[in-house]
Amino acid sequence: MMKISTMGHACMVLTGEEERPILATDPWLLGSCYWRSWWMVNPPAEEQVRRVEAAPFIYITHEHPDHLHPPSLRRLKPGARTILLPAFLRMKMDAYLREQGFDVRILPPRQWVPLEDGVSVMSLPQWSNDSVLLVDTPSAFIVNLNDAKPLGGLLDDIARLRTEIGKPCIVLRSHSPAGPFFNYFEENERIPCREPEDYVRMTQGVCAHLRADLFLPFASQVVYRRSDSEWANGYRVGFDLLQAGWGIATRLCPPFSTVDLETLSLSAEPPAEWRGAFHDGQRALVAREEARNGEAALTDEDIAALKAVLARQRWLLAAVLPGGVAIESGGRRLLYAPWSGRLRETEKGGDCVIQVPAAALKDSLASGNFGDLCIGMFVPATLRDRALAGRVNLFWMLMVLADYGYADGILSRLRWLVWVWRVERRRPIARPG
């Protein structure tokens, strides 16, 4: 009897007879991420962690720390398991995992890879260095979309494959905001780009398109604990909001469910037994991180690194935000003017002013993950005009692409565009052999 269980945040575990683990995904198993901002609503119990530890295959969808979580990987330790990765054009996590001693296997795009008799997986890389994982089992077809937002053509391909396979379809997908969309201001007034209900409608649209039998809430099981991100808890899309707006044939499952893939019967951890209570040890960690931000100061090296990050997308930024981008951090206000390429300290100017805690900014520049700052929910942006919100969204997307190395010159951009065409183009996805 095969089952899937969801736990933690974006961790799915496929088990076979006698609860034997086969595959786990994105194991964030303990602690926090995004500079102590994100904490799990219901961290895995010790027995669940041991189940992940026993899985011979672990698939990591992408490099964000709520999916590639170093403290959890240290808990797993290298051993009798293989880490499966998407075939991105450029990434850092393959080298990092090998340095940690893990056996790493990069899955070829759009090809079925058998894990054992009757179980195959397919990795579908996306333009944004995210990926979809398809899992075919003897009795069910699983579509793990996690944070990926595939273009319509790929969804059509998956829907066609779902029809050809003819098995019950289970969809897992993030359904709550995680980014800058709700953290924009004009004259001290918050101006959300979307409504929480929009995420319910988007989730239903995907499930209806794929004619999913079950939807499992996934990759959205977090609570925000920092004093500068607690506001975001009011915009979380939890099960209650999903349930209130659900109006399609797909069965909406509770969070942290275990599904029997033969009968589609399920059980779920009751909320009264969730383990996400905020305890003194976590409060101390958050306080320590906030104190670190208060004590940090930007150095000349930090400022040079910030200028280099922004300069990678200079001419695109000139088109998107011609008035420049101001960064407020560590008591300083730095304006990057893309037309001149200058980064200078000034009290005026900029199409937007982005406030970044100093320690987080220094960390992101040192690690080469500047784009991650917009996901932690503690980086507000004040806009010169609310109509610029879409352009600031585009700014963050450009920064993420620069982090991945897709902005290092014309040839790098062209290679990325060719790769995107190859992984996103519509072509039939074959049924498992």
Q: What is the 3-state secondary structure (H, E, C) of 311-346?
A: HCCHHHHHHHCCCCEEEEECCEEEEEECCCCEEEEC
Q: What is the mean pLDDT of the chain?
A: 94
Residue 244 scores a pLDDT above 90:
yes
Mean pLDDT to the nearest integer, 348-352: 95
Residue 105 scores a pLDDT above 70:
yes
The number of helices, as runs of H, and strands, as runs of E, in the chain is: 12, 25
Q: How confident is the model at residue 300 (pLDDT cuts 50, 70, 90)?
A: very high
Instruction: Name the packing angle between helices 280-295 and 358-367 (round to 10°).
Output: 80
| pLDDT tens string 208-233 | 999 999 999 999 999 999 999 999 99
Residue 373 scores a pLDDT above 90:
yes
CA distances from 136 to 34, 65, 151, 195, 290 (A): 33, 27, 22, 35, 45
pTM: predicted TM-score of the whole model, two decimal places: 0.96
Distance CA 230, CA 340 (A): 38
Which amino acid is located at 297 in the chain?
A
- Helix then strand then coil, % of the chain, to nearest 5: 35, 25, 40
CA distances from 86 to 67, 80, 108, 298, 378 (A): 13, 20, 7, 36, 29
CA distances from 332 to 227, 349, 384 (A): 21, 14, 19
Q: Among 100, 96, 121, which residue's Cα sits nearest to residue 111? A: 121
| pLDDT tens string 40-56 | 999 999 999 999 999 99
Q: How confident is the model at residue 408 (pLDDT cuts 50, 70, 90)?
A: confident
- Render the burial of 407-430: b for 16+ CB within 10 Å, e for the rest: beeeebeebbeebbeebeeeeebe
Q: Among 160, 158, 199, which residue's Cα sits nearest to residue 182? A: 199
Q: Which helix (H) or strand (E) holds 92?
A: none
